[in-house]
Structure 1
Amino acid sequence: MIGKMLLVFIVAALVSVRSSAQSWTADNGNGTYTNPLFYDEFSDPDIIRVGEDYYLAGTTMHCLPGLIVLHSKDLVNWELASYCMDNFNLGDQFRLVNGKESYGQGIWAPCIRYHDGKFYVFSNINGVGMQVFISDNPKGPWEHRNMGGNIYDLSVLFDDDGRIYAVHKYGSVQLTELKSDLSGIVEGSTREIIPEGNAMGEGHHIYKIDGRYYIISADYSPMGRMQCARSDKIDGPYETVTICQRESFGTPIGHMVHNVGLGHPVPGDGFKFNVGGQGGNRLGCATVHQGGIVDLPNGEWWGISMLDFTSVGRTVALSPVTWKDGWPYFGTEGNLGRVPRTWFKPNTGKTVAPHAPYVRNDDFDGKKLREVWQWNHEPVAGMWKLSGGKLRLNTMPAKDYLWARNTLTQRGIGPVSAATVELDFSHLKDGDIAGLGLLNMPYAWLAVERSAGTFVLKVKDQNGDKISQGVSLSPKSAVYLRVTGDFDKDVAHFSYSTDGRNYTNIGEEVLMPYQLKTFQGTRYSLFAYNRNGRNGGYAEFDNFSIVEPLADRRANLPIGKVVMLTNLGNGNRMMAMRHGIVHGVARGSKDYDSDAVCFRVHDRGNGRVALEAMNGTGFITVVGEGLSADVRLMEKETAGSLFLWQDMLRDQCMLMSMRTHRFVGCEPTTGEPYSADNAGTTPNRKNGTVFKVEIRN
C-alpha cells in the first residue's frame, strides 16, 4: 500500500516536473560522479582505451539492433557509438515464429579490442558459436564473421608475438588460439590454464600488462566477487586473489522469480510464478562483479564492472583501481576491494558536460527511430513504419504479449521513471490489442482491445492472471497511456488520460521481479498483436516520453544547510557530545540535545564537506587510522574534518572520511561511539553506516 501511495504521488507530480525533466547521469557536476554510471541495464561490460577515447561494449541478448558500443571522453559521460548488428538471420527462434524464441539467449558477454587500426567486438551466440565484428570506425559499419566453436564468456588477447588467444568458459579457464585471419579457431589448441576450483568463475577479461598476463573474472557463487589471476606465461601457472567483494552500494536484494529461467519455456497465461521477497542482507550477485580495467594516459587505472540493480537489471559501476603488490584492486588506498558510490572523476584531461547516454523521448517525427529503441527479437519488415509523425505497428497473430512480434522496447530506468505515450486505436480490428507494456516474465500491460466492434481499455498482470475492470473508449478520440515504475522497489502502476493532462489510475500495483528467462530487467514497450490468429489492423503511437523525477540530484548534497542524521541501523540520531565524542542518541533520551544533533554542512569543493556541530563543540573530525579511526569533535578544522558525501538517494547518505577512505559509522547494537573504519554498507543499509538526512533549514 505504501508503494502504491508513493507511485500515485509521483504520478501527480509528473505534470509539474515534465518541462524540466532530465535523465540520469552519473556526473554530479562538481568534479565527482555517483554510481551506477547508468540507472538502466548494461550487462557484461568490457572496456578499452584508444588514444584519448574510451569504448564500452555490452550484452543485448535477443534484442535488436544488437551488441551495443558506447563512447566516452571522461569515463563518466557516455554516448551511443553504434550497434554491431541489425539482425541475426539465424532462424525461427530469433523471429518468434513456429513456437520458437531466443529470450535470454542471442548474443552476450562481448569483448571489445583495438589492434592495428581496427576495432573488434567478439561475442557468443548460444548454439551458433563465437562471432567477431570488425570495423575501422567504432560508429560502424561492422563486418560480421561467424568463427564457430563452443567459446563463451570470452576475452581476446592480441599478444606481442602476433598470436591471438581467447580465454573462455565457466569454472575452469580455457585458452584457445584463434587463426590470424580470424576465420576460426586453431584446431586442437584448446587447453585448460586454470583448473576448476580456483574460484575464477566466468566473464573473463585478459590483459598483458608490463609483460605479465592478467585474467579478471567473476565468481558469483556463493557470492558475487571479482577474482584476478596472473602469470608470467600465458599457459600459467597462475596465482589468484580476490580484488573486489561485498560491494553492494546498499542495493537491496530484489524480488526474483525462482521458477522461470534459462531453458524454461515461456510462461503462458495461468502460470503460477514463484516470486521471492525483497530485502535482506544476503550477498549474492547484487554485489559488484564481472568487468574489466583500463589505463589512462596519465597512468591512472580504472575498473568497470556490473551490479544487479533489482528490476532495472544489471547496470554498470566505475571504480578507481589501486595497484598493490602487483595486483589491480578495485577501490582506494585504505579500502581495497570496495568501490565508492561517489568518487572523484577520472583525470582524463577532458572536460565534458554532464549528459545521459541516450535520448529517450521520441515524437516519431524523424525518418528513423531513436537509437535507444530495440526490438524484442527480429522485427518483421513491412509491418511497421514511421508515417505522418507517428509510429505505426500492424497487428500480427500471437497467443499472448510475450509472443507478439514487432514489440518495440526501451530499458526501464531507475530509480523512478514514468513512460507516457499517445495511442490512436481507431484502426484496430476485432481481436487486436495494442498499448504500453512492461516486458518481463511476468509481464503487464495497459492496452486497448477491440472486440465485437467495441474498444475497451484494461490492465493485464500476468502474475496472478489479473485483468482490471475495463473502461470503454470512443474510437473518435486518442488515449494517453502511462506506467510509473519504482525500480528500486520493483513495483509499477498504470494510469490513463483522455486529454493528456488529467490521469486516472487503473488496475492494481504491479510487481516487477527479476528472472533469468529474459535475463534482463523490466523494459518499457510499445506493442500490437491479434489474439484471433490473423493479421488485423494497426495502432499508431505518438509522443513517447520518459520522466525521471529523482534524476536531478543537485539538491541531494545539502550545502549550507543544517541537517540531522539518523542512523538507519538503530534509529538513533548522531549527536555531538560535550566531551568531544560523536555518539548516537535516541529521541526522548535524557541526553538528547536538539542543538547537538544538528550539523551545518560546509562546502569544501569537489563534493567534499565539513560538518560543524550547532551546539558549538566544533567540527566532526577523524583522528587516527584503522581500528583507531575515532570520530571526534575538534574546535578547528583539520585534514581529518573532510568527508566525501555519498549520495544514497531518497534523502539518505554515507560519509566517507578523506583521511581513511572509509565510512563513518557505529555498531548499531552496542552503543559504541562513531568511528571511520567501516568498509561500506550492506544491502539492507542497517550496519550503522547509512544515515537518513533531515534538513532543518
Structure 2
Amino acid sequence: MKHLLALIFCVYFSGCLMGQQQAEWGNWKNWGDQEDGTYLNPIIPSDYSDIDCIQVGEDYYAISSTFQFSPGMTLLHSKDLVNWEICSNIIDDLTQISESLNWTRMDRYGRGVWAGTLRHHNGRFYLFFGTPDEGYFMTSAAHPEGPWKPLTPLLAEAGWDDCTAMWDDNGKAYFVGTHFADGYKTYLFKMAEDGKSIDRKSAVLIHSGSGREASKLIKVNGWYYLIFSEHKPGVGRYVMAKRSRKLAGSYKEERQLALPSCEAMEPNQGGIIPGKDNNWYFLTHHGTGDWSGRIVSLLPVTWVDGWPIPGEVLPQNIGAMKWSGKMPFKYTEKLSIKRSDDFDDERLAPQWQWNYQPRKEYFSLTERPGWLRLKAYRPLEADKLLKAGNTLTQRTFRKQDNDVVIKIDISNMKDGQKNGLCHFSSQHSAIGIVKEESACYLEYRKNDNITRGIPIRSQYVWLRTQWGLDSKSHYYYSLDGDNFLSFGEPYQLVWGNYRGDRIGIYCFSDKREDGFVDVDYCHYK
C-alpha cells in the first residue's frame, strides 16, 4: 500500500507542481537567510552531499561526504540551522583508508569517503563512515576542530555503505550498516562502548531491498527511530522510518514519511534535529545530482501520531517539499561558507581540498609567505589533468553570479610545465599557461583537447571563470589584472562521479619534476 501511495502522490504532485517547481528548480535568485525572519530553500546551493546533523549545546554540526578529496569528510558548523560555516575537514590522511586514494594511484573517482554519521557521546565527537571498497571506519576528537584520532577500521569488507551508530541510556552501543552489494540488506550490530569495534557475529537483519540506504538513528520520547530512504523504479526516492522502544530492536513498525518529491530532486538523506524554537527540522540534501551536485535544504518536521513528517504535511499525513520557512533562531553573527583566499596563513583554509591525497613536498604556503607555491611533477598519464596530483579544489555554488579570479606568478615555470584554473567533475575544462622550451603560451583545455593561444611574456597572469544559473562557464585572462579578454569556448558544467562541478588550481609537467608557479590569491565573489 505504501508503494502505491508513493506512486499516486508522485504522479499527482508531478502534475500539479512539476511545471511550477521544475521551472524554478535551480533558477533561484534568492536562497538561504532572507534577513526578515524567514529563509528560502536551498540554504546551501552547493555540493554538500550525504548530510548528517547533530546538536551539541547551542551549536549544530553537520558532516558531508567527500569521496576522493583530501582532507576528507567536511564538518560544518551553525548556530541557527540555516547559516553555516566550514568548521574543519576530519580525515587528514586518506592513505589510512587505501593507497588508491593517494597521488600515486588516483583510482577512486566516485568512491572513497561515502556517507557517515556524526555523534557526540560523553563529551567526545565521533565520526563513523564507510567506503564501498575498504569497509567501515571510526575516528573521534575532543573538539570538532580536531585534532581527530587516526582512523580505526571497524569492518574490512567491500560492499557496505551509509552507516549510523548510537549509545542507549545504559551506555550500550550499537551500529547499523547496509550491505548494498547483497540486496541492500541493513543490519544492526553490537558495538564496543568506545566505538572502536563492532561484533560481526552479532548482526541482526533489520530490512532489505528497494535501494534502502541513508540510515540515521535518533531517539525521541522513548522511541528509537531508524530514518532511511528507499527507492522504487518509476517512483523515485523518499524518506522512510522504522521504530522500536529499544535500541537493540526489534524494528517492526514502519512508515513512509515523505513523497518522492520528484519536482525537488528528491530530498531524502539527512539529520532530524530539534531547533532552538522547540520545533524539529530535517537538514537534507537533494538526492538527484546535476551540475551543482547534491545541495542542501532545511525542512520543518511535524510529529504526527508519533512519526516525524518532514516538509509540508499533506491531508494524508505524509510530507512534501517545502521551499520556505521561519528561521529557527536569530543569531547575531551571520556565519557563511568562505570561498576566497589570499593564502596568508601557513595552513590551507578549510574550503580547499586536494584531488586525492597530495604529494606534500610539492606545495608550500611558507616558502613565499602570502603565496601558494605549487611545484610541478609528472601526472600518472601524460597530459591528463584528472590524473595529475596536487590539484587544489573547492566546491562551486549554484547562484546567479559567480566570478573566480586567480593571480599567478609564472616566472619560475620550466619546459613542459602546465598550470591554470579549471572546472571538473567527470569531465573538465581549463584556462592555463604552458611552457615549451623558453616560451610560455596561453591554452584552453576541454577534456584533454587543447587549443593554443597567444604567447605570454609577462611575469603575472590573471585567470578568470564566470558562470551563472545557466551553468555555462566563460574563461578570461588578463596581463594587468584590470582588462580581461575572453578565451576558449563556453563550457557546460556537469555532474559526474557522484559529484557536482568544482573549480581547481592545477600544476603539472610531462617532462620534468621541477619548476613551480606561485598563486597570490583566489577571489571567489
Q: Same fold (TM over 0.5)?
A: yes
* Letter in structure 1 aligned against 2:167: F
* Letter in structure 1 aligned against 2:73: L
Partner Cα separation in structure 1 for residue 352 and residue 118 of structure 2: 22
Is 2:519 the partner of 1:535? Answer: no
* Contact kept? 1:305, 1:318, Cα under 8 Å: yes
Unpaired runs of at least 5, structure 1: 1-22, 252-285, 548-697
Partner Cα separation in structure 2 for residue 46 and residue 354 of structure 1: 21
Aligned length in residues: 477
Equivalence for 2:163: 154
Equivalence for 1:245: 259
* Contact kept? 2:164, 2:217, Cα under 8 Å: yes
SS in 1 for 2:100: helix
- Percent of aligned positions that are identical: 30
Deviations 1:658-683 (A, max 9, x none): xxxxxxxxxxxxxxxxxxxxxxxxxx
Measure how far apart 1:118 and its partner are.
1.3
* Letter in structure 1 aligned against 2:454: V
Is 2:107 the partner of 1:129? Answer: no
Cα distance change on mapping 1:508 and 1:84 into 2, 3 Å? same
2:52 pairs, out of 25, 28, 46, with 46
Flag the structure with larger Rg. 1
* Letter in structure 1 aligned against 2:397: I
Partner Cα separation in structure 1 for residue 242 and residue 410 of structure 2: 58
Measure how far apart 1:297 and its partner are.
5.0
Deviations 1:594-629 (A, max 9, x none): xxxxxxxxxxxxxxxxxxxxxxxxxxxxxxxxxxxx
Measure how far apart 1:140 and its partner are.
1.5
* Contact kept? 1:40, 1:414, Cα under 8 Å: yes
2:480 pairs, out of 499, 503, 509, with 499
Partner Cα separation in structure 2 for residue 403 and residue 182 of structure 1: 36
Equivalence for 2:103: 96
Measure how far apart 1:332 and its partner are.
3.6
Is 2:213 the partner of 1:232? Answer: no
Deviations 1:200-233 (A, max 9, x none): 7111001222222211112244312111222334
Partner Cα separation in structure 2 for residue 214 and residue 73 of structure 1: 25
Equivalence for 2:347: 368
Is 2:359 the partner of 1:380? Answer: yes
* Contact kept? 1:384, 1:392, Cα under 8 Å: yes
Cα distance change on mapping 1:436 and 1:100 into 2, 3 Å? closer
* Letter in structure 1 aligned against 2:103: L
Measure how far apart 1:466 and its partner are.
3.7
SS in 1 for 2:463: strand
Cα distance change on mapping 1:396 and 1:36 into 2, 3 Å? same
Measure how far apart 1:187 and its partner are.
3.6
1:82 pairs, out of 80, 84, 88, with 88
1:217 pairs, out of 213, 228, 245, with 228
Measure how far apart 1:468 and its partner are.
2.6
Equivalence for 2:71: 65
Deviations 1:238-269 (A, max 9, x none): 23222222436x56xxxxxxxxxxxxxxxxxx
Cα distance change on mapping 1:289 and 1:366 into 2, 3 Å? same
Equivalence for 1:406: 390
SS in 2 for 1:382: helix
1:483 pairs, out of 465, 468, 475, with 465
Cα distance change on mapping 1:422 and 1:145 into 2, 3 Å? closer
Between stretches 312-321 and 128-137, larger displacement belongs to 128-137
Q: TM-score, normalised by structure 1?
A: 0.65
Partner Cα separation in structure 1 for residue 208 and residue 354 of structure 2: 40
Unpaired runs of at least 5, structure 2: 1-28
Equivalence for 1:612: none
Partner Cα separation in structure 1 for residue 93 and residue 299 of structure 2: 34
Cα distance change on mapping 1:238 and 1:539 into 2, 3 Å? same
* Contact kept? 1:158, 1:165, Cα under 8 Å: yes
Q: TM-score, normalised by structure 2?
A: 0.86
Equivalence for 2:522: 544
Measure how far apart 1:155 and its partner are.
0.7
Partner Cα separation in structure 2 for residue 145 and residue 430 of structure 1: 41
Deviations 1:516-567 (A, max 9, x none): 2xx21111111100022x30311111121112xxxxxxxxxxxxxxxxxxxx
Partner Cα separation in structure 2 for residue 187 and residue 364 of structure 1: 46
Measure how far apart 1:25 and its partner are.
6.8
Is 2:269 the partner of 1:290? Answer: yes
Matches within 5 A, 1:509-588: 509-516=490-497, 519-532=498-511, 534-547=512-525
Equivalence for 1:655: none
* Contact kept? 2:62, 2:76, Cα under 8 Å: yes
Matches within 5 A, 1:179-190: 179-190=192-203
1:300 pairs, out of 279, 302, 310, with 279
Partner Cα separation in structure 1 for residue 443 and residue 251 of structure 2: 62
Partner Cα separation in structure 2 for residue 426 and residue 220 of structure 1: 54
* Letter in structure 1 aligned against 2:171: G
Measure how far apart 1:459 and its partner are.
0.7
* Contact kept? 2:100, 2:108, Cα under 8 Å: yes
* Letter in structure 2 aligned against 1:168: G
Equivalence for 2:451: 468
Partner Cα separation in structure 1 for residue 195 and residue 73 of structure 2: 19
SS in 1 for 2:342: coil
SS in 2 for 1:188: helix
* Letter in structure 2 aligned against 1:189: S
* Letter in structure 2 aligned against 1:455: C
Measure how far apart 1:309 and its partner are.
5.4
* Contact kept? 2:103, 2:390, Cα under 8 Å: no
Partner Cα separation in structure 2 for residue 162 and residue 153 of structure 1: 23
Cα distance change on mapping 1:132 and 1:82 into 2, 3 Å? same
Is 2:435 the partner of 1:456? Answer: no
Deviations 1:420-478 (A, max 9, x none): 1012222111111000011222111111011132211011111xx5433412111x331
Measure how far apart 1:393 and its partner are.
0.5
Is 2:310 the partner of 1:327? Answer: no
* Contact kept? 1:70, 1:82, Cα under 8 Å: yes
Equivalence for 1:636: none
Partner Cα separation in structure 2 for residue 437 and residue 529 of structure 1: 13
Equivalence for 1:694: none
Is 2:30 the partner of 1:30? Answer: no
* Contact kept? 1:25, 1:356, Cα under 8 Å: no
Cα distance change on mapping 1:315 and 1:183 into 2, 3 Å? same
Partner Cα separation in structure 1 for residue 333 and residue 195 of structure 2: 39
Measure how far apart 1:237 and its partner are.
4.3
* Contact kept? 1:395, 1:536, Cα under 8 Å: yes
Partner Cα separation in structure 1 for residue 371 and residue 396 of structure 2: 22
Equivalence for 2:293: 313
Deviations 1:362-413 (A, max 9, x none): 1222222222111111111221112142111000001211111111111111
Is 2:405 the partner of 1:426? Answer: no
4+ residue segments displaced more than 6 Å = none
Cα distance change on mapping 1:129 and 1:50 into 2, 3 Å? same
